[in-house]
With several copies, the nearest count.
Chain A
């Protein structure tokens, strides 16, 4: 109900029958003025080649007028066509000037008739085209095609140069890698000193350097380098007054502790008892 009222208010009712009983003024149904003209021309029920353009122009103008009365919104091209047809109509009714500048009214009328015939012809052709048996609608291809298997035979490529380069690079790399690893097995003085400094910081009492170092030596093969570097570093720290060293005799274990301030040093050093 409301839809009906709404359509009335917007002036776009579905059907309004005007004076001519067959004329339904519903511009929405047409795809442009040419389409409308073709529909009107069909009402003349004659071969399009013999159509009366004058009568067609009249029908079109009546239609447009009716549409405007019911306030149908007309696209500009409908109005342009109406103006052009009104002009053509006046030209057709008046006697032709002796030397016309542009195309004559007759030529214009023929051109319009031709356009209508062409549109009609293409409509007919599109109908026939769509009525042809269509793939997947009327006729069908093989539903389950069998794939053609591709058997690939790999052909490997490599050159002698690739081979020799690969060999040389690998062998050489191995040699260099070994040298590099050997370097890393040396415990540097700096490493030894850093470790000792950390330890001295907490060693208020005499501690056995050998025991401490052994805990650092994971790999027996590194024992020599660790001991040598640590001893050198320890001497350095003593010289700098950071630490004290004590050894009872040659080859006896070395003891070390943090160097205490002079006042505290007055008390007798109590050597650790084993």
Chain B
């Protein structure tokens, strides 16, 4: 097997500028690295390669060979492997849109926010009569149809939620005021006409100006943190 190294030297002398005369050990290395199911370290490669090959130098040369290619030879945790060139990572992703139906809980919560905004989570729960899971709120925030708009000036300073422009365009509404009121809902049969006299439906408004009882969100308010434990009555309820 030492003949390989010799052969190479001979080749180099015979055709010093022939770019095709590639040392055989580079072929072996690239085949081994290509087929391996995991990155290989130098010792493992040396064991598999013919004797007398300078693995370190061969790896360096192979790395140079592939440096400008779409596939590079990289060293990860002292092991060698082929990887797609970093600048081509865009090629390795496929984007797709996936249509998802909102859950019933989410659409119910969205409806309350639309009609009663600005509204806090506790108020939503008061109206719905059930506690809302944080997951439902997350999904709604992901739709981009609702947004936290401020904080209620009450103890605990809970977040207030309102709808966005994306909400209007999703439901083909010119303005939030186009949401049907009590009489219209009764007219379409969605609301029972024999409801008690005290029953009312608010005239919704998504005016971005904060109400008197709202504080602005602070700069740096981390929404993820804001929505977590403290604002989650479920976890609180379990303890009670």
Contact = CB atoms under 8 A, between A and B. Distances in A.
State yes or no: do A and B touch (Cβ within 8 Å): yes
B171 A140 contact: no
B111 A129 contact: yes
B217 interface: no
B46 interface: no
A156 B190 contact: no
A272 interface: no
Interface string A9-36: 0000000000000000000000111110
Interface in A96-144: 107, 110-111, 114-115, 117-119, 121-126, 128-130, 132-144
Interface stretch (A167-175, A197-205, A246-254): A167-175
Interface residues of B, number: 59
B181 interface: yes
B94 to A, nearest CB: 5
Contacts of B196: 107, 110-111, 114, 175, 179
B190 A117 contact: yes
Contacts of B85: 139
B97 A172 contact: no
Contact of A124 (B110, B114, B142, B181): B181
B89 A138 contact: yes
Interface string B173-211: 100000111000100101110011001010000000000
A147 B126 CA distance: 47
A125 B129 contact: no
A105 to B, nearest CB: 14
B90 to A, nearest CB: 9
B96 A150 contact: yes
A102 to B, nearest CB: 14
Chain A binding surface SS class: helix
Interface stretch (B9-17, B98-106, B151-159): B98-106
Q: Which of the listed residues A123, A138, A156, A173 has the most CB atoms from chain B within 10 Å of its own CB? A: A156
Interface string B125-162: 00111100000000100110100000000000000000
22 contacts: A31-B104, A115-B129, A118-B190, A122-B115, A129-B114, A135-B171, A136-B97, A136-B99, A139-B83, A140-B83, A141-B82, A142-B37, A144-B39, A145-B36, A153-B97, A154-B97, A154-B98, A155-B100, A157-B102, A160-B171, A174-B127, A175-B199
Given A35-B129, A143-B38, A157-B100, 14 more contacts: A114-B196, A122-B115, A126-B111, A129-B107, A138-B92, A140-B96, A141-B81, A142-B35, A153-B97, A157-B101, A159-B171, A163-B111, A166-B111, A167-B185
Interface of B: 31, 34-39, 81-86, 89, 92-102, 104-105, 107-108, 110-112, 114-115, 127-130, 139, 142-143, 145, 169-173, 179-181, 185, 188, 190-192, 195-196, 199, 201
